Every structure is written in structure tokens, then in C-alpha cells.
Amino acid sequence: MTICETARRAPLRCPTVDELTDAALALLPKGRAWQGHEGGPRPGSEIGFNPEAFEPDGFSTTARRASVLWQFWRAIAVVLFYLHQRLCALRLELWCATHSETHDLWLAEYGLPDGCDPFPDLCSKVAAQGGTRCEFYQFIAGRAGWSIFCRNDIGHCGALVGSRRAKAGMAKPGRLKAAQLIIAVDLQNSPAFVGTAHARPKAGRLKAGRRLACGPNLGPLECLLGRVVHAEIQITYEVH
């Protein structure tokens, strides 16, 4: 379906001083006191050329002083012009891509800068839609320099745990969780990781000569994902 050209909305444009002057004069009442019988308040004019050098009939060779009424509304138009300029500039501040003067207010509104924010870039945070899929978490972690993959681990309790699953030696403390997200971190492909990658000792698995390390420091990644993963989901981190 085509759109009539006359029905198109005109693009936003700030008026000039001359346009504002003409608009103000057009609103004046009609009458001799407002110079309505003389074609409106008279603007001034200057000599265009020296009458001795050019044909006087073809160029303006006289100077005329602007009327007091025209000068008054011209002064008002200058103030209105400044007001329109500021209003046009304010319109640009309503979008992240075009704002400039209110940058500090934008940062305060979106809580930036924040080293733990998954969207450290202002415009990216404004446009962020979020998500609950592993692909979204991988995207967020990848922006910060972490290589991860994840899987869901849903625990069961009550009637679902019967003779089929309740086996001696298979139960684990704290195993039954409502919803658990396991994040596996690939340290070798994570440029954001700094420090050692020694695994923490586990009962029954400690070998002679193995260092008693606290495990790799995943604090920055945990802080990052803690901002986007839903609060009811418990996150468990594994290192690969």
C-alpha cells in the first residue's frame, strides 16, 4: 500500500530566527497601532551597492531603520530561537545512541559503571532483553572473556525417590535440589581467568604430593552470572 506524499510527516527541524520572527509578527492584532495597515512591522534594510557605481534602479541604494515594533519581536525571537535549540537538543537525549549532555544521568539511571554488571556498555544494557537459556549465559560470559557450557540438574524428592533410585552408597549430602544449574568453565579458553588452576582437594581423592590449593578463583564469573541467572536457581561451578 502506497503512502501519499502529502500525508507524510515532516521531519523534525528547528526553526530559524527569521522564521520565528515571522511567526511572532503573524500573531499580532490587525490595526494601525500594530502597523497592520503598513504591511506589518517594518524590518530594516541596508545599502546594497554604491549608487555612483551601479544603476540605482536595479539595486537597493537606500538605508532604512527597522521599526521599534519589529526590533522588539526580533529580540523575542532570538530568545525563542535559543529555547528551540535546547528543546531540539533535549530530544536527542531521549535515546542512548544520540545522547551526549546527560551521560552522567544515564549512568546513574542504569547503575553504571559496575565491574560486576553483565552489560558494562551503557547502550548494550539499555537494549538488553535477557534470557533463561544456556546460550544467553554463554554470550554474557563470552563478552567478559569466559568460556563456559552448562547443563541442568533437577533433583527429585518424595514419591519419585523409591526403591528404583534409593541405593546404598548412592545418596549424596545436599543432593536434592529444586533446580540446579551446573556451569562448566573451560579455563584454557578463558582469557579472563588469572591465577592458578589447581583443583581443591577432595576426601578420598587426595594424593601424596598434591598441593593443597583452594581451587581456581571464579569470583568474577560468579559475580557476573549472579546478575542474570534467576534467583531461584542454584548455580554450581565446575572446572574443565
pLDDT digits (tens, 9 = 90+) for 164-207: 555 666 666 655 555 788 999 998 888 888 876 665 666 666 66
What is the rounded distance in angstroms from the CA atom of residue 233 to the CA atom of residue 177?
9
Q: CA 6, CA 214: separation in Å to the nearest integer?
A: 72
Task: Name which residue leads in pLDDT, 219 or 178.
Answer: 219
Q: Specify the pLDDT at position 83.
A: 95
- Per-residue pLDDT of 5-35, as tens digits, reads 566 666 778 899 999 999 998 888 887 777 7
pLDDT in tens, 102-132: 999 999 998 888 888 888 888 888 888 778 8
State how far the Cα of 73 lies from the Cα of 51, in Å rounded to an integer: 32
Q: What is the pLDDT of residue 226?
A: 86
Q: Tell me which of 60 and 77 has the higher pLDDT.
A: 77
pTM of the model: 0.54
87 has pLDDT over 70: yes
Q: What is the pLDDT of residue 147?
A: 92
State residue 161's pLDDT score: 44
The confidence score (pLDDT) of residue 216 equals: 80
Residue 95 confidence (pLDDT): 92
Residue bearing the bigger pLDDT, 82 or 195:
82
Per-residue cell: 186: 573451560
DSSP-derived 3-state class of residue 35: coil
CA diameter of the chain: 119
pLDDT value at position 117?
Answer: 82
Residue 86 pLDDT more than 90?
yes
Question: Could you read off the pLDDT of 47-75 as tens digits, one per residue?
Answer: 655 556 666 565 555 667 888 888 999 99
Beta-carbon contacts of 84 under 8 Å, excluding residues fewer than 6 positions away, are: 14, 15, 20
